[in-house]
Amino acid sequence: MASMTALPSDIIIDNIIPLLSVKEFLNLCAVCKAFLSFADDEVYWRRLTKSTFRLPAQPLREKGWRELYKNLHRAILYTWGSNEEGRLGHHPSNRKVQSPWDVDLPVNQVAVNVVMGRGWSTTVLTASGSLYTWGALSSFHGSYSSYSPNSTSGERAAKLKFPAAYSSTNIIEVSSGRSHVLGLSEEGRIWSWTQDDQPGMFINFIHIDTTTYGSTYYGARRARGTIERVAAGWNHSAALVNGVGIVVWFPTPQGTHGEEGIHVDGELVLGTCYIEGALKPSTVSDEDWAYAKEVGEVTGIMAGDSYLVFLTKPGKVYAVYAEPNMVAGTRPAQLHYFSAPTGQKPMSYISGSFCKFAVFNSDGLVYIGTKDQVQEALVQGPEVEVKSKPTVIPSLQKRGIVAIAFGDYHSLALTAEGKKLRGRGVYNSPFMGNWMNRQRSDSTRLRPANPRSRKITNTLFSISPQRVGTLVRLPWLQAGNMETSQGLRDPVGQYLRNSHNSLAWGGLPTLGHHRGRWDMA
């Protein structure tokens, strides 16, 4: 009788394992020694982790997905900085949180992604697909004034709502601009919130055809017209539409919902419709298709202050203006010096906010860019090779950086091992002074914000002299733009005056504590 062990391993890995639940997969691995080798299959655990916890894109994480899946069930969110109006998830009476405190989420909710509202709020995406926010999405709207003095932060969190017809919607990706939040649902719809006490708006493009996912979101490549990414900028929003390109749109007045949502007139970024292996759409001219093929398939987008930067599969970096009537019909400008040098792996990830962005690759190369460099490239035009070079910080190179978050006056970088580096400096400087990975030799307990969570966080961690904790295997981190009149005083005696200095990260509990050394740039 034929045995399953006689099947080639690639048949099992590619065609059988993806169909198994966790219990079924582990039972299969326990059948025999031959199948036991599948237990650490990174492809399976990566797919399972992403589908279960709705993690943001992590193209640079190659290993450790099984451990990440196991630990994310007990992930904890920590925030610190300016907590005015309770925007960090702590009680509004505690205006300055000077060291990391855990945030008490609503019952049975686990945070998997966090975005800072660039001025007034913190919004969290949970593993169940819900969005919760603290503070207010803009300076004019919010529910924080209704907080009870005795309520916990979980009770104070405002759950972002949907119209009645879409009440069962779950979100898989979230992005925050200065005063609005974008969410991408499991069905492939874009939702936008400008008030946390009003239902979100379903975004529907007037002149651009899009389609929903059906049940294939975590499967193979989706059909042309499905939404791949969303990005909320300072004054605009953007979405990457599969086989169509990057669509940019601008603020729309809050309105009522119909079955077809809110209609917006999106502008299409020229040259962003190419998909490797796909045929030319009948709606695209031969000239535009040839140019799009030269640009390459878009893999990442970053929305800033009146500009948008995107990354393509060949590792090229391009930028466009993000102002009304300035997007469509104009070729994007290539930032030539932001591509990896010849012989190195192409840039594969982009992140940033407001006036700064970063691109990096799996070899550990990290380039930092600013809005000023983007403006220089756009002024000179797409046909001119821009001479402006990115900032290269020695202490960030070859460190396994997988994410970088920017505030106005500070930044955080995360390595694949869960180490964090922090940079500070002056407004709009690419990398605010020195990047540090410094820790005290003594261990310090992260103080729980609510006694009910003390059991979860009663684990030793090392807290750096600059009020930055050390956790392991952080899936994401976020630096906010929270304005204060006085700023926070750090232990070395410097003030961050008028800075936007709120911080948040999601961390996993770990036993013991790290002990490190100074690592100055």
Higher-scoring residue by pLDDT: 520, 201: 201
Task: Look at residue 483 and give its three-state secondary structure.
Answer: strand
407-441 per-position pLDDT tens digit: 877 788 888 777 778 776 544 443 333 444 443 33
pLDDT the model gives residue 44: 86
108-154 per-position pLDDT tens digit: 888 888 888 766 889 999 999 999 999 888 765 444 333 444 445 55
d(Cα 227, Cα 213) in Å, to the nearest integer? 8
pLDDT the model gives residue 231: 96
Assigned token pair, 440: 């005290």
Least-confidence region, from 188-192, 307-311, 412-416:
412-416
Q: What is the CATH number of the domain that holds 191?
A: 2.120.10
158-173 per-position pLDDT tens digit: 899 999 989 999 999 9
Mean pLDDT is highest, among 161-165, 267-271, 511-515, for 267-271
pLDDT the model gives residue 267: 95
Choosing from 375, 392, 409, the residue where a domain stops is: 392
In a domain, 460, yes or no: no
375-410 per-position pLDDT tens digit: 988 888 776 676 778 999 998 999 988 888 888 777
Q: Kindly provide the b/e burial profile for residues 417-451, where b requires at least 16 CB atoms within 10 angstroms of the residue's own CB.
A: ebbbbbbbeeeebbbbbbbbbbbeeeebebebbbe
Q: Which domain holds residue 196?
A: 160-392
% of the chain with per-residue pLDDT over 90: 33
In a domain, 351, yes or no: yes
pLDDT the model gives residue 478: 58
Task: Order across the sheet with 201-205: list the strands.
Answer: 171-176, 181-185, 190-193, 201-205, 262-264
**Chain mean position to CA 143:** 25
In a domain, 430, yes or no: no
Binning the chain into helix, strand and coil, the percentages to the nearest 5 are 20, 30, 50
d(Cα 332, Cα 172) in Å, to the nearest integer? 29
pLDDT of 261 > 50? The answer is: yes
What's the mean pLDDT when you consider all of the chain? 75
Q: Position of tokens 């969110």?
A: 77
Hey, CA dihedral for 181, 184, 187, 188, is it positive or negative?
Answer: positive
In a domain, 107, yes or no: no
Choosing from 392, 424, 439, the residue where a domain stops is: 392
pLDDT the model gives residue 335: 94
Confidence of residue 200 (pLDDT cuts 50, 70, 90): very high
d(Cα 48, Cα 39) in Å, to the nearest integer? 13
Is there a single domain that holds both residue 32 and residue 164? Answer: no
Residue 185, Ramachandran bin (φ over 0: left; ψ between -120 and 50: alpha; else beta): beta
Number of domains making up the chain: 2
317-346 per-position pLDDT tens digit: 999 999 998 898 889 999 999 999 999 999
Of 405, 289, 400, 395, nearest to 354 by C-alpha is 405
Q: Are 312 and 299 in contact (CB under 8 A)?
A: yes
* Segment 348-358 mean pLDDT: 92
pLDDT of 491 > 70? The answer is: no
SS (H, E, C) 152-221: CHHHHCEECCCCHHHCCCCEEEEEECCCCEEEEECCCCEEEECCCCCCCEEEEECCCCCCCCCCCCCCCC
In a domain, 341, yes or no: yes
In a domain, 64, yes or no: no
Residues contacting residue 398 through CB under 8 Å, at least 6 positions apart: 363, 364
Strand partners for 302? 309
User: CA end-to-end span of the chain, whole Å?
Assistant: 65
In a domain, 209, yes or no: yes
Strands 96-102 and 447-448: parallel
pLDDT of 448 > 70? The answer is: no
Half-sphere exposure of 157 (CA within 13 A, CB side): 23
- pTM for the complete prediction? 0.79
pLDDT the model gives residue 386: 65
In a domain, 230, yes or no: yes
pLDDT of 502 > 50? The answer is: yes
